[in-house]
Amino acid sequence: MSARETFELTEHRLTVPLVHGSEDGRTIEIFARVVTAPDGRDRPFLLFLQGGPGHESPRPIALPGTPSWLQRALQDYRVVLLDQRGTGLSTPYGAPGPDPAVDAEWLTHFRADAIVQDAELLREHLGASTWSLLGQSFGGFCSLHYLSVAPDSLREVYFTGGLPPVGRPVDDIYSATYGRMRTLTERYYDRFPGDRERFANLLELSAAGELRTPTGEPISQRLLRTIGHQLGMDGGAEQLHYLLERDPASSAFTHDLAAAFSFGARDPIYAVLHESSYTDGGRTRWSAERVEPADFLGDSLLFTGEHLFSWHFDDIAELRPYRAVASILAEHDWPRLFDANVLSSVDVPCAAAIYVDDPFVDREFSEETADLIPSLKRWVTDEHLHNGLRTSGGAVLDRLIGLSPA
């Protein structure tokens, strides 16, 4: 598309069962936008499954001269942007009700398996016999489940920073993420040596109760270390450095520090269901907290990443109302998401961008999954981190399309 061209948008709303396969009568609504280039009305559909869980689909904005993965995708596809259940203009999950058990039961139906069943109804609604998938991060987890349960519905599948482990215990997954964060932390301090002392000073201020959010809430040392999740993103190290170089007494620092925490109440599903997304069957029982290495504790200078802890629901005021719900879900026995037997026999063309230093989806585990799928071609790269799809313009998607022609 040239800088002067725009795109066409059509909106779709579907009423779907809360529990697919059940006749209990409970329903929710899902919302999707189809984005089409002016000359692309006959192109096949590409369903974009975004990161999360609990994040809405991106909103398409035409900015002349600004490349993006969406502009690249529209050269070959009509792009379907689905607000996954509970997000965006789909029926939301907001403030918890009076009974945490009721909320917890409701949310057991908001994982990748339900999202895929919603997508199947949407595909049928659009009249597509098959369509393609682009799964970013958690969207890749949804895509792999889709490939496990409905491969005949898929034309091709692209994974970006989101090829999950199959059959791995959740504790193994979180243990690997700590190892990657240790490496990224030391690399960060090598690049910005002055930030080691700056961060140590912040930890001291936190211990003294002198580090607070704009609303006056104290910021604990353990919460402070979670700003390291930025190290998993392209440009994240620079953003972290620009934060730490500021005067901690300034209001700008206080506001930007609070904004740097990865979990909050804007997208409650992201916190409440986060560990379940890593779980290919079984209970999580606060896995990230149970396997946290000793050198990450106390006044450690090591940063944590996309790790959810039970204390998040104490240390972040906006999350406190969700604590009981999250505790119930931590003990929920989740079903399996991926079928190794099916995946080892599918012939759907697949391509995956696997990022060498991704601290959220471990490279070695992703490669194990890639070995399992005979039709998958991989691109293992250190050119990008977890958000490479977004930061590369159309380059990452273009590479994947070239690897896996339908």
* Residues 382, 236, 59, 362, CA torsion sign: positive
| Cα–Cα distances in angstroms (integers) from residue 80 to residues 43, 49, 141, 259, 297, in the given order | 12, 9, 18, 30, 43
- β-strands 78-83, 376-381: how paired? unpaired
Instruction: Note whether residue 1 is domain-resident.
Output: no
Asked whether residue 5 carries a pLDDT value surpassing 80, the answer given is no
Determine, yes or no, domain membership for 256. Answer: yes
CA 174 – CA 288 distance, rounded (Å): 6
H or E, element range at 199:
helix 194-207
- φ, ψ of residue 342 in degrees (nearest 5): -65, -45
If asked whether residues 111 and 44 sit together in one domain, one would say yes
CA atoms within 13 A on the CB side of 157: 32
Band of pLDDT at residue 2, cut at 50, 70 and 90: very low
Is residue 12 located within the same domain as residue 161?
Answer: yes
Residue 227 CA to residue 240 CA, distance in Å, equals 8
Give catalytic status of residue 229 as yes or no.
no
Q: Same structural domain for residues 182 and 235?
A: yes
> Distance (Å, rounded) from C-alpha 140 to C-alpha 51?
8
219 and 78 both lie in a single domain: no
Residue of 103, 386, 392, 404 with catalytic role: 386
CATH number for the domain harbouring residue 382: 3.40.50.1820
Task: Tell me which residue range forms the domain holding 140.
Answer: 8-167+336-403
Q: Are residues 295 and 381 in the same domain?
A: no
Note the pTM of the prediction, 2 decimals: 0.96
Quickly count: other Cβ atoms within 10 Å of residue 129's Cβ. Answer: 10
Residue 278 belongs to a domain: yes
Verify that 84 and 183 share a domain, yes or no: no
Q: Are residues 262 and 194 in the same domain?
A: yes
* Pair (183, 321) in one structural domain: yes
User: Is 241 an annotated catalytic residue?
Assistant: no
How far apart, in whole angstroms, are the C-alpha atoms of residue 38 and residue 36? 6
Does residue 153 have an active-site annotation? no
Specify whether 18 is located in the same domain as 50: yes
Residue 24 lies in a domain: yes
Residues 212 and 142 in one domain: no
Catalytic residue among 137, 262, 276, 277: 137
Task: Note whether residue 388 is domain-resident.
Answer: yes
Catalytic residue (one of 24, 152, 247, 333): 333
Q: Which of 330, 350, 373 is the C-terminal boundary of a domain?
A: 330
Residues 112 and 240 in one domain: no
Beta pairing partners, 376: 350
Same domain for 256 and 310, yes or no, is yes
Q: Give me the number of domains the chain comprises.
A: 2
Residue 53's pLDDT is: 95
**Polymer length of the chain:** 406
Q: Is residue 3 part of a domain?
A: no
Residue 2: inside a domain, yes or no?
A: no
C-alpha 238/C-alpha 42 separation (Å) is: 42
pLDDT digits 0-9 by tens, 170-186:
999 999 999 999 999 99
pLDDT for 72-92, tens place per residue? 999 999 999 999 999 999 999
The proportion of the chain whose per-residue pLDDT surpasses 90, expressed as a percent, equals: 93
What are the pLDDT digits (tens) for 350-394?
Answer: 999 999 999 999 999 999 999 999 999 999 999 999 999 999 999
Which residue, 309, 330, 351, sits at the end of a domain?
330
For residue 31, tell me if it sits in a domain. Answer: yes
Final residue before a domain boundary, out of 301, 330, 359: 330
